[in-house]
Amino acid sequence: MDLKIGVIKGDGIGPEIVTEAMKVLDRVAEKYGHICTYEQLLMGGASIDVHGIPLTDETIEKAKACEAVLMGSIGGDAKTSPWYQLEPSKRPEAGLLKIRKALNLFANLRPAVLYDELKGACPLKEEITEGGFDMMIMRELTGGLYFGERKTVEEDGVMTAYDSLTYNENEIRRIARRGFDIARKRRKKVTSVDKANVLDSSRLWRKVVEEVAKEYPDVTLEHMLVDNCAMQLVKDPKQFDVILTENMFGDILSDEASMVTGSIGMLASASLNETKFGLYEPSGGSAPDIAGKGIANPIATILSAAMMLRFSFDLDKEADAIEEAVAKALKEGYRTVDIMSEGKKQVGTSEMGSLIAGFI
């Protein structure tokens, strides 16, 4: 099979970790008889440096012509990087928002998994995490406060800023269906998170999610208020299977959940549209402080490549092979510095990539 993959290496540790994911993809291609063609795309700071803006229309067109895009990470150090002298709409992260909307990537999947091998890094006490946990956050990614109208105006000498949060039933229905579809393949439970005791958008959210739930009689639905969910993630993360929520709540809760695992360097993510197309990236940031040092953990990006094979190319066997190779590297005691613990073997970015490729 020919796989046409867009590659956004991105900023900070992005180029290093994407290189390792490509190494692993090439090994998979070799073993299973596929051909990967990579189209390099510029986004974020790297695009500002070349084009003056974080994402050009040409890049969007090129991305659309690919079957999937693999991305490193976007952004730099807000305190020192010249990118952050620009106004917000021209900064690296603006490219991310623009590509999500332009490619209609409304379904953002973020797994939050406690790796048994990495329990030591989990900030929660063992009695809470015993037996492990494995949840999937399904975040709506192209609506809500992120893409509502906004303005800042002076009225009678007083500055006032406005943002707006809008959802229509179709936007809610399509993400809800994605959430239930995923739950069906997992432990068959959806926790829909909203703030229905305050927001109209949340009340519509709840209503539409309940309608969708009727199409999935085999899946259990529960509703949870966002403030309560922020508590439950710390108190009892095991209770969750799929968390389904809107854009801003999903931003906050998915980051909280990823930190609760203690293994942010291990967490992949996928952003999907109505077709098979998806943008795949690690959950963590661009970590400019360790960029270029060869010590970043490439596993989140490698696992994002596995998600890509699974969701965009239906290559489940190949995706499994990557996930198993990652598990093997961990089991054999190999660790990058962020997940290092006593008695394990510390390796760099490139060595970790090679080890995982070698296990395939």
Ligand X SMILES: CC(C)[C@H](C(=O)O)[C@@H](O)C(=O)O
Count of positions (residues) in the chain: 360
Residue 178 near its own copies by CB under 8 A? no
Residue 125 near its own copies by CB under 8 A? yes
294 annotated to bind ligand:
yes
Q: How far is CA 205 from CA 2, 229, 246, 271, 325, in A?
A: 40, 16, 8, 20, 39
How far apart are CB 17 and its own copies at their closest, in Å? Answer: 19
Choosing from 29, 53, 86, 128, the residue that interacts with its own copies (CB under 8 A) is 128
Chain-centre distance of CA 136, in angstroms? 10
How far apart are CB 17 and ligand X at their closest, in Å? Answer: 16
Residue with Cβ nearer ligand X (30 or 227): 227
Burial letters for 163-188: b for 16+ Cβ neighbours within 10 Å, e otherwise? eebebeeebbebbbebbbebbeeeee
How far apart are CB 139 and ligand X at their closest, in Å? Answer: 8
Residues with a known catalytic role: 146, 195, 227, 251, 255
Residue 123 near its own copies by CB under 8 A? yes
Strand partners, 111: 136
Residue with Cβ nearer its own copies (43 or 226): 226
157 annotated to bind ligand:
no
Choosing from 33, 185, 197, 289, the residue that interacts with its own copies (CB under 8 A) is 197
Burial class (CB in 10 A: 0-12, 13-18, 19+), 200: exposed
Q: How far apart are CA 78 and CA 85, in angstroms?
A: 9
Residue 337 near its own copies by CB under 8 A? no
How far apart are CB 340 and ligand X at their closest, in Å? Answer: 26
287 annotated to bind ligand:
yes
Q: In what order do the strands lie in the sheet with 2-10?
A: 35-41, 2-10, 68-73, 278-282, 268-272, 107-113, 134-140, 242-245, 189-194, 220-225
218 annotated to bind ligand:
no
Binding mask 41-80 toward its own copies (x if CB under 8 A, else -) reads ----------------------------------------
* 324, interface contact from its own copies, ligand X, none, CB < 5-8 Å by kind: none
Strand partners, 262: none
197 annotated to bind ligand:
no
| Known binding residues for substrate | 100, 110, 139, 227
